[in-house]
């Protein structure tokens, strides 16, 4: 499991470790890791031209010490001191001893233009707000120059704890982060500014109860996949009910069933007006037109994809005492009191637009503040929430505790119907007995992986994503 911690937790762990180490030892660990990552990126250090952008804090100190190490290996290193009187004293002395030069902001753009590598040591976890106006042009110059950009700890200008980007920020090809990932490195829009993230172990001891974000990896997902035992039957594997589709949107029903058939439940029951379309495509589906209550036993329901205005079905499903996933139209039709009052687990799966409507804010606000939005929805509805998008997030009911971030997402998934496939897949995992948070995060993982495999660099349709799910399972199980 990859984890991320808040600045507060990182700072506390740093203080604890610093008290036990000689002065400056921690910064040397960080600088050594940073210099090694820069050297790997450059390939050849000797003769390379490196520009360091140096702010007023320890983040600049890391960059200066790393610059000194690279200068000793024959790189031409120029440090641009953005606030010369406040640059890290020890780091500056080390750079000068190693033959590095310093320059003021006036010389910065010309140096950046000729550089092979630009190191962003402007701010790290102590940064507040976007880049200052006088520094913003340097970010643009770095982006123009063709030099590789390495951010120290995190790209300057992004919000480390939330992934929000409220002003100008550096865009890095590589971010070398220390001790642990930070939320801003895993959540869009900031994640996009970070490029590839390399974690350098500096010996921090971080308490597991303070985890802010979790990103499942292959091994975690493999452990959570429901596998049929030797003596099982379809009912013991779980039956998932899909209440979806309408005369107008029969395709949503077909796609949700397509996802559900690949999620590990023993049987898929479909309830709604699109039974003929579903049976034509998937004859193994148990179809009923008698409404959720009379459809027969299910262990979890999916309600909402393509549901149009059928509020009665949504209410009927919410009144059951099994786990319920509410998606798409269902989110609009569900009575918030009925959701909050449920005793069995509830999982809501909005995209940013649907989340915005539920929260009464704009879509841009949700996209700019995903972590806060998913927690807020989970708190308001006392339900688990999967917020779809460029980084899909999953919060547990109530919104406290670690939020899961899906690492397999791909923009190829931004295609009509892919959410219907996800809802069916997730419902199937719920029926098979996974918790709401596990079902949502495992489904998002498989769904993203499947889309990557199916796309392989070309557009995919939602049905391709559904068909690729077994391949994603096999890949995860190794």
| Nearer to ligand NAX (CB atom), residue 12 or residue 224 | 12
For the CB of residue 114, give the shortest distance to ligand NAX in the complex, in Å: 24
Q: For ligand NAX, which stretch binds (CB under 6 A), given 125-133, 168-176, 334-342, 451-459? A: 125-133
**Residues of the chain by 3-state class (helix, strand, coil), percent to 5:** 45, 15, 40
| Nearer to ligand NAX (CB atom), residue 167 or residue 470 | 167
| Nearer to ligand NAX (CB atom), residue 160 or residue 271 | 160
For the CB of residue 471, give the shortest distance to ligand NAX in the complex, in Å: 40
Q: What is the 3-state secondary structure (H, E, C) of 30-91?
A: HHHHHHHHHHHHHCCCCCCEEEEEECCCHHHHHHHHHHHHHHHCCCEEEEEECCHHHCCHHH
Asked whether position 26 contacts ligand NAX by CB under 6 A, the answer is yes
For the CB of residue 151, give the shortest distance to ligand NAX in the complex, in Å: 10
Asked whether position 389 contacts ligand NAX by CB under 6 A, the answer is no
- Which runs of consecutive H residues, i.e. helices, occur in 209-362? 218-224, 234-237, 250-260, 275-281, 311-318, 329-333, 336-340, 352-359
Is 156 labeled as ligand-binding? yes
Residues 6 or more apart whose CB falls under 8 angstroms from that of 367 comprise: 188, 189, 352, 389, 390
Residues in 304-343 at the binding interface with ligand NAX, rule: CB under 6 A: none
Asked whether position 5 contacts ligand NAX by CB under 6 A, the answer is no
Asked whether position 58 contacts ligand NAX by CB under 6 A, the answer is yes
The SS3 assignment for 243 reads strand
Distance CA 296, CA 219 (A): 36
Is 58 labeled as ligand-binding? yes
The SS3 assignment for 464 reads helix
What does the per-residue mask of binding to ligand NAX show for 29-48, with x meaning CB under 6 A? -x------------------
For the CB of residue 367, give the shortest distance to ligand NAX in the complex, in Å: 22
Supply the angle between the helices 462-477 and 418-431 in degrees, to the nearest 10: 40
Asked whether position 128 contacts ligand NAX by CB under 6 A, the answer is yes
Neighbour tally for 235: CB within 10 Å: 11
Residue where the block lists tokens 């660099």: 457
Rg (CA), the chain: 25
| Nearer to ligand NAX (CB atom), residue 62 or residue 164 | 62
For the CB of residue 78, give the shortest distance to ligand NAX in the complex, in Å: 19
Whether the link from the prior residue into 286 is cis, omega within 30° of 0, is no
Annotated binding site: 58-62, 120, 124-130, 153, 156, 252, 306, 351, 388-392, 419-420
**Residues lying near ligand NAX in the complex (CB under 6 A):** 14, 18, 26-27, 30, 55-60, 62, 122-129, 131-132, 152-153, 178, 202
């Amino acid at each position: 499991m990859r984890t991320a911690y808040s600045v507060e937790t990182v700072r506390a762990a740093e203080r604890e470790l610093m008290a036990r180490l000689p002065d400056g030892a921690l910064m040397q660990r960080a600088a050594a890791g940073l210099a090694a990552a820069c050297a790997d990126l450059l390939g050849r250090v000797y003769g390379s031209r490196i520009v360091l952008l140096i702010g007023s804090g320890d983040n600049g100190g890391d960059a200066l010490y790393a610059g000194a190490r690279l200068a000793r290996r024959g790189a031409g290193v120029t440090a641009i001191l953005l606030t010369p009187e406040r640059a890290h004293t020890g780091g500056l002395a080390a750079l000068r001893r190693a033959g590095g030069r310093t320059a003021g902001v006036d010389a910065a753009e010309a140096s950046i233009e000729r550089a092979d590598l630009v190191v962003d040591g402007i701010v790290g976890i102590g940064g507040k707000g976007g880049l200052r106006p006088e520094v913003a042009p340097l970010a643009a110059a770095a982006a123009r120059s063709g030099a590789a950009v390495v951010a120290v700890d995190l790209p300057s200008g992004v919000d480390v704890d939330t992934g929000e980007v409220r002003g100008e920020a550096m865009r890095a090809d590589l971010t070398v982060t220390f001790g642990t990932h930070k939320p801003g490195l895993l959540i869009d829009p900031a994640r996009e500014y970070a490029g590839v993230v390399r974690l350098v172990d500096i010996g921090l001891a971080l308490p597991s109860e303070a985890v802010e974000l979790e990103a499942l990896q292959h091994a975690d997902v493999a452990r959570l996949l429901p596998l049929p035992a030797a003596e099982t039957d379809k009912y013991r594997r779980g039956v998932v009910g899909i209440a979806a589709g309408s005369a107008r949107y029969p395709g949503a029903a077909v796609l949700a069933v397509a996802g559900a058939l690949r999620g590990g439940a023993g049987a898929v029951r479909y309830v709604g007006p699109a039974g003929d379309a579903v049976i034509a495509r998937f004859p193994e589906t148990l179809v009923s037109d008698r409404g959720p209550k009379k459809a027969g036993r299910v262990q979890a329901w999916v309600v909402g994809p393509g549901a149009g205005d059928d509020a009665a079905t949504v209410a009927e499903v919410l009144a059951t005492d099994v786990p319920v996933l509410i998606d798409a139209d269902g989110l609009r039709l569900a009575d918030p009191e009925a959701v909050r009052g449920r005793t069995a687990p509830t999982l809501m799966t909005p995209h940013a637009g649907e989340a915005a409507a539920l929260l009464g804010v704009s879509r841009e606000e949700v996209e700019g503040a995903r972590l806060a939005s998913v927690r807020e929805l989970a708190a308001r509805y006392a339900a688990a929430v999967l917020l779809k998008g460029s980084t899909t997030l999953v919060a547990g009911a109530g919104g406290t505790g670690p939020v899961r971030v899906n690492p397999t997402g791909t923009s190829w998934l931004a295609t009509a119907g892919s959410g219907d496939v996800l809802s069916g897949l997730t419902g199937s995992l719920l029926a098979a007995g996974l918790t709401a948070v596990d079902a949502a995060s495992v489904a998002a993982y498989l769904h993203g992986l499947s889309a990557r495999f199916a796309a392989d660099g070309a557009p995919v349709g939602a049905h391709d994503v559904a068909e690729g799910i077994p391949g994603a399972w096999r890949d995860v199980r190794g």
